[in-house]
Structure 1
Amino acid sequence: MTHTTRSSTPSRRFIHPIALAAILLSATGMPAPAGEIQTSNPILFVTQVPIPGDFITIGSVFGNHRGDMAPTGRGGDLWIRYPDGTLRNLTQAAGYGVSGFQGAGAIAVREPCVHWDGQRAVFSMVVGGATQQYDYSEFYWQIYEITGLGPSDTPIITRVSSQPAASNNVSPVYGTDDAIIFTSDRPRDGSAHLYPQLDEYEEAPTTTGLWRLHPTEGLTLLNHAPSGDFSPIVDSFGRVIFTQWDHLQRDQQADSDALTPPGNPLPYGTFNWTSEAADSVPLFGNRTEVFPEPRAARQDLLAGTNLNGHSFNHFFIWQMNEDGSDLEILNHLGRHELHGYIPAAFNDDPNIIDFYGQLPRFNTQPIINMLQPKEDPAVGGRFFAIDAPEFQTHSCGQIVRIDAPPTLDADHISITYVTHRDTSQPDDTPGPNHSGLYRDPLMLSNGMLIASHTPETRADANTGGRPNPGSRYDLRLKSVGPLGNGYWGALAPLTPAINKTLSYWDPDVLVSYSGPLWQWQAVEVRPRPRPQRRVTPLPSVEAQVFAEAGVGVAALQDYLVANELALIVSRNVTTRDDFDLQQPFNLRVAGGGAQTVGAPGAIYDVESLQIVQGDQIRGLSYNNQPRPGRRVLAQYLHDENALAANLPATPGEPPATVRVAADGSLAAFVPAGRALSWQLLDPSGTPVVRERNWLSFGAGEIRVCTSCHGLSQYDQAGQLPPANPPLALRELLDYWQQQNGMVTGDMNCDGEANVLDINAFVLALIDPTGYAAMFPTCNILNGDIDGDGQTNVLDINPFVALLIGG
């Protein structure tokens, strides 16, 4: 069909006022056209030279973080729209950017975030461009802060200090303490030879997770994301909200290589490195993987098993605290609440079935992805986001809404389609309900919803060529409101077209462009209440176990931080969510103990939890020459500190396992700052239930999950989450004390707490240095009887009570 552009296109007989306003664009500002929409506050937004290709380019769903010339271009700016519609080019007013040829002074801009006080903002900017053909200089997105946002102010832009210089640092937001939280492609531990991390899908460069930069505390990795994190915000409850790419599956490129007929060239040259170490060696031809189960394409590996094959790929909203703790999908949501189809893992148990919408659930409007989340300023926990395909549309799709305040469980959360479902996909022959494609939805404080919108319904394509590219998409900021079909859609534009004529080396070809720039990533400039910093307390059940074991929580956390570890605890892994029928749910502890049965049929014994860690050891090669970058592969836990701290394995047990206690509980020390996953094993070492996501934990974190594979509200037997004091935690704490000389009250380190410890206890109180000299192998925190992390006068009465009780 012939596509009709928006009705504001100028005719031959006169120049439309919006087009005239575009012509009158001054060096730093643009007057408001007559009849311009009034807003309560200014709006910051970004202009971007159109890049019609949509594979790991600036607008792509993934791989959009690179500062190179070809995927990003040059010539965009940071703009502000004042309430009367007047526009101002802030970067140009601050002395950044060039006109015409985009060389050494060129810039591109992305993702502004306004400070709590409404007076400043952070954003990412790449400065510099290729100055000649075949100039392959490295360019990185860096974080900048801008002040002077008022109409008569002089904008001042300053690079944020102490950020990683040789990394792409994007999507910055302010934390509640003014630390900057952002995504970056900096390697997880800073090792340059691991750069870049490659995603689990296309083995294309990706971000490594969320990072935190504090002026005095420095740089911290908050979570390790093997396929990348995107678009963080801090919501009104203090939660860090962001989109994570969840793609925990085996390597499809390696599968393609393995299935290539002998004698034919391998399409990817996948192989394993011996380790993550700088001196690791490539093992060409070795593509060994251990977790999760094979993909359906590998029928050679699935033959003779009861496995259907596993694929996993979506972008969901996640949450965590500002220190990286308490990481999970928003409100413990998952596929079972959001997707329309979930395949069964096993093919020989009638209780384990596919889900295709045949069972009733609270959410009746499924989605695939949730991109670019933004919170409604008037309704805490209400988020607008985009459900868009991975390719073809520059992350443009359907506007959706989800209400997820912290107190609402996943079983009572639903999706609302704001725009019609037809807008979630491109369409060459759209129906009447397809109102175009949307991205970057933003609810303003006055109740107006705005978004970047194109009326184009088709997938984007280059309407020119590499030297003279053109895009089908004319992304403009528009208000969004009710249409006549029961859904919302684009209404009036908030801005005129902003045009530029420019050129740049990509760097092989001179690219020339003249026309409208894309407008996106709008944020409102206004003061916001600063949320309280969110802290997740240790549940009372586990706190009581610590107290009974005589272990101070703070003392253990100090040990965890010093050894870059976290502690994970589950109360009863035989309990599983009542809506998850895709993996076994009739579970019991092997050898007798806890069991949870939700239906007649097979009951699966579980004996241990096997932990895997994400190692960057998968490489690509050409003619046996490794290419830059590595993909994360799941490997059995081998972190030395974690293995040394956990209970010793029984000879003959599978590697990297911890025993499930009789009450169904488990506890384990795990490495911090690294992606982890796990699976429950039966007594023969066969996996029964596999975790489907990567998780990571902060150093010092004690993470409690009532069930290893999660309850939203009820388990398969209709029971609420378990509340038993986990036996496995007590066993691990007792072992930890023995290994670390941590017998509570044992101040002379003779292995017992008795009257012989009185003098040493007194010495520790009055002269800690003298105590350390007299008892060099003792831990002074043995005297921390009240568990506050210190040995001081507050421990005197508890110490006396301990001796009397003993």
Structure 2
Amino acid sequence: MKDVPRGGDLMLHYPDGSLRNLTAEAGFGMTGLQANKAIAVREPSVHPDGKKAVFSMLIGSPLKQRKLSTQSNFRWQIYEVQGLEKNQKAVIQKIHNQDARFNNISPIYADNDEIIFTSDRPRNGDLHLYPQLDEYEATPSISGLWKLNPLTGKLQLLSHTPSGAFNPVIDHFGRVVFTRWDHLQQDQLADRDRDAFRNGVALPFKSFNYADETAHAKRLDSRQEIFPESRVGSESAYGPVHAFRSNFFSIWQIDQDGANEETINHAGLHELSFGYLTPSFMQDKNLSKRTREELHRNQLALRREGGIFHLREDPLEHGVFFGINARESASFTTDSIIKINARPDINPEQMQIIAVTRIDKTDNLKDGRYRNPLPLSDGKLIASHTSNQLPPEPETNLRDLRLKWLQAYPSSQHFTAGTPLTKGIRKSLSWWDGDQLKRFQGELWELDPVEVKTRKRHPTRTPQLESPERRIFQEEQIDEIALRKWLEQHQLALIITRNQTSRDRADLQQPYNLQVPGGTKTISSLNPEGKLYAIQHFQILQAEQIRGYTDRPGRRHIAQAIKDFHPMNLKTASQSKQPTSIDNNENSRSSVVIAKDGSSAAFVPAARALTWQTTDPQGNPVVRERNWISFKAGEIRVCASCHGVNHRDQANFPAPMNKPEALRELLARWKLGK
């Protein structure tokens, strides 16, 4: 209740200034003391035909006389409203076949009329894994993007995200664009427990590992983590390793069927939040603490301990997104408005972030704070705005958070808040929060605006392999459609890298002079004399909810080797042996040999967050992935190089176009063993 007091409504504003309370018309909500019919609403989204909308609604409010066990049994669910024209009456119905045990929010209509949304439903629906705990403070989180067919009840996990995904939209090009919390790092609560254990005091969080994700898994006397590097520093075969920490809310994209998940346009921290980045190996003086700012057009870095929220595409400039560049917490994601050009044909090095309202990195915004920007079809811009200059202190509120027209600053390219959209929506409310009766009288916040208009639908795209992979399929006489069907049947995806030794020229934080023993190598044109690292294996890890805490329900994900790694991935006797150690432990499974041409190929689990690393012949990590990625069942995904090449790799070559021989070897095994 402290986060979601009841009493809000879904409102419809017409161009003539008239205002309708849609939820009240449909018989939802109440004034005064909030009780069984009380509601809270959030995040409406309009159907492509412009005649109806979906939104999330929470029904019911705790009563003082209820037992504590019933105080938290309320769940956000998805509803649909029709009757948006002036001469119609609003009708609201709950979307059929959604799982009422969990919170379902941020709904949007897919182009085929299914509902895409976010939910805190565990990846497999198992209640003993609820709630999923995020990778930061181990608090309940969203598990990812989901898609529901309300007619059949078919439910698909599009993107499995261990720390959450937020506010999806479908852009003019048919992409699902959303904010995702990239926080792939070791558990800071377990770090504190390790410190306490070494100092002989009580463990503050009582963290531990389960043996597996099952309901009756054995509780282990361990809190071991094998990936990524330690948050406090560690040792390796290459000497001391810097502490690694990650905390960024970035823009991601995914197809409406769950394929092709990646950061938008494959943009990374080097382009969007450039400056200082932590290198990996301390004793390699060739690794840099700075990004190469001369390589990218963007000169406005997003907040590192935060990111971009509340994305909305400009209807007049396709691929341009407005958003809020806010810190990670304690601001209700209010801050300044920025926009970014992320049209699909724009290379990340050419993307640019532009300040729409004035920015002040001190958090003291003289013009007030903004939230939920909405560019309109007539070229105007509105946003929620508060006169608060600083983020609210704990237990305080944001004043006058109202939708306002934005107007251009005199003699400036920046905008500032102008007149309010409405005359204000006032209510007198009271509600029980535990044993406290709280009261509110005044103007309500105005949030989450969306324009009621039609939008283009996009036909389903047939996946197309690029020429290097297509030629191998032809030469090995493999039916691509048959392989995709087999992958889908077995809930697998096929991932391919053409050359693991090739890396984007902007990334100087991890080793970049790389060689496959006895095979290809790629040497930096900037530093050809730098240390050369051998990479022999490509290890794939999956997110598993096996971290528990005695003081709270639910589990956190940590990276683990894939226990049921598909046997067709295993190497033949003529190939190199499995790595003997990974981070000085015995866990050396779920890796494939990198072929002499630098390529790799593997069958991997679908609809499960994965990450990976390249290792040397002894199994010591060399280059690590910095994000979680999930794949669609039946997807064949190709990365030209490790960590992707935008314009040029470290040797100043374009992205590799070699036919990946590792794919040829895997397809030959598949043809024999399917």
- TM (norm. structure 1) is 0.79
Matches within 5 A, 1:343-354: 343-354=278-289
Which of 89, 100, 107 pairs up with 2:21?
A: 89
Deviation at 1:216, TM superposition (A): 3.5
Q: Is 2:295–2:506's contact at 8 Å kept on the other side of the alignment?
A: no
Structure 1 position 250, deviation (Å): 0.3
Q: Is the 8 A contact 1:109 1:124 kept in 2?
A: yes
Counterpart Cα distance in 2 of 1:372 and 1:224: 20
| Structure 1 residue 303, shift from structure 2 partner | 11
Q: Within 5 Å, give how 1:514-553 maps onto structure 2.
A: 514-553=441-480
CA RMSD of aligned residues (A): 1.8
For residues 690 and 292 of structure 1, the distance between their equivalents in structure 2, rounded to whole angstroms, comes to 7
**Which of 278, 283, 288 is 2:215 aligned to?**
278
Render the CA deviation track for 1:387-419: whole Å, top value 9, x for unaligned. Answer: 101122101111111111111111111111111
Larger Cα-atom Rg = 1
Checking the alignment, whether the CA contact within 8 Å between 1:125 and 1:144 is kept in structure 2 is yes
User: How do residues 205-284 of structure 1 correspond to structure 2 at under 5 angstroms?
Assistant: 205-214=140-149, 215-216=151-152, 218-260=154-196, 262-283=199-220
1:490 is matched with which residue?
417
- 1:711 maps to which residue? 645
Structure 2 equivalent of residue 456 of structure 1: 388
Between the aligned partners of 1:111 and 1:196, the Cα distance in structure 2 is 22
Q: Distance in 1 between matches of 2:393 and 2:7?
A: 21
Would you say the 8 A contact 1:646–1:668 is kept in 2? Answer: no
TM-score where L is the length of structure 2: 0.94
Secondary structure of the structure 1 residue equivalent to 2:240: coil
State the shift of 1:262 in Å: 3.5
Deviates more, 1:344-353 or 1:568-577: 344-353
* Identity in percent: 46
More displaced 10-residue stretch of structure 1: 70-79 or 214-223: 214-223
Paired residue for 1:114? 46
DSSP 3-state at the match of 1:401: strand
1:230–1:244 Cα contact (<8 Å) kept? yes
Alignment-derived partner of residue 582 in structure 2: none
Within 5 Å, which residues of 2 pair with 1:391-430?
391-422=329-360, 426-427=363-364
Note if contact 1:321-1:535 (Cα within 8 Å) is conserved in structure 2: no
Amino acid at match of 1:391: S
CA contact (8 A) 2:537 2:614 kept: yes
Residue 793 of structure 1 corresponds to none
Distance in 2, matches of 1:218 and 1:161, equals 11
After superposition, residues 557-636 of structure 1 pair within 5 angstroms as 557-598=484-525, 599-600=527-528, 601-622=530-551, 627-636=552-561
CA deviations on 1:6-65 (whole Å, 9 max, x unpaired) are xxxxxxxxxxxxxxxxxxxxxxxxxxxxxxxxxxxxxxxxxxxxxxxxxxxxxxxxxxxx
Distance 1:71 1:687 in 2: 42
Of residues 477, 492, 514, the one that matches 2:403 is 477
What is the CA-CA distance between 1:435 and the residue it aligns to? 1.1
Any gaps of 5 or more consecutive residues in structure 1? 1-68, 464-469, 741-806
1:175 is matched with: 110
- Does the C-alpha gap of structure 1 residues 561 and 200 become closer, same or farther in structure 2, counting only changes over 3 Å? same
State the number of aligned residues. Answer: 652
Q: Which sections of structure 2, spanning at least 5 residues, go unmatched?
A: 580-587
C-alpha contact 1:101 1:503 (8 A) present in aligned 2 = yes
What displacement does 1:474 show? 1.8
Contact 2:56-2:77 within 8 A present in 1 as well:
yes
Shift in alpha-carbon separation, 1:98–1:122, aligned structure 2, 3 A = same
The partner residue of 2:277 within 339, 342, 359 is 342
Which structure has the highest strand share of the two?
2
Q: C-alpha separation between the residues in 2 aligned to 1:569 and 1:356?
A: 28
Distance 2:393 2:543 in 1: 37
Whole-Å separation in 2 of the counterparts to 1:319 and 1:476: 30
- Are 1:684 and 2:618 an aligned pair? yes
1:784 corresponds to: none
- The one-letter code of the counterpart of 1:234 is I
Aligned equivalents of 2:295, 2:568: Cα separation in 1: 47
Report if aligned partners of 1:571, 1:706 keep a CA contact under 8 Å in 2. Answer: yes
- Post-superposition shift, 1:543? 1.4
Structure with more of its chain in helix, by fraction: 1
Could you tell me whether the CA contact under 8 Å between 1:110 and 1:125 is conserved in 2? yes
Q: Could you say what secondary structure the match of 1:511 adopts? A: strand
Question: Does residue 328 of structure 2 align to residue 390 of structure 1?
Answer: yes
Closer/same/farther in 2, CA of residues 462 and 597 from structure 1, 3 Å limit: closer
CA distance in 1, matches of 2:406, 2:634: 45
1:444 aligns with 2:376: yes
**Kept in 1: contact 2:492–2:603 (CA 8 A):** yes
Residues of 1 paired with 2:87 and 2:626: CA distance?
Answer: 53
Indicate whether 1:199 and 2:134 are aligned.
yes
Q: Which residue of 2 aligns with 1:323?
A: 257
Query: 1:733 is aligned with what amino acid?
Result: L
- For 1:362-377, what aligned pairs fall within 5 Å after superposition? 362-368=297-303, 369-377=307-315
1:534-589: CA deviation from partner (whole Å, max 9, x where unpaired): 45422222111111111111111111111111000011111100111111111111
What secondary structure does 2:651 align onto? coil
Measured after TM superposition, the shift of residue 497 of structure 1 is 2.0
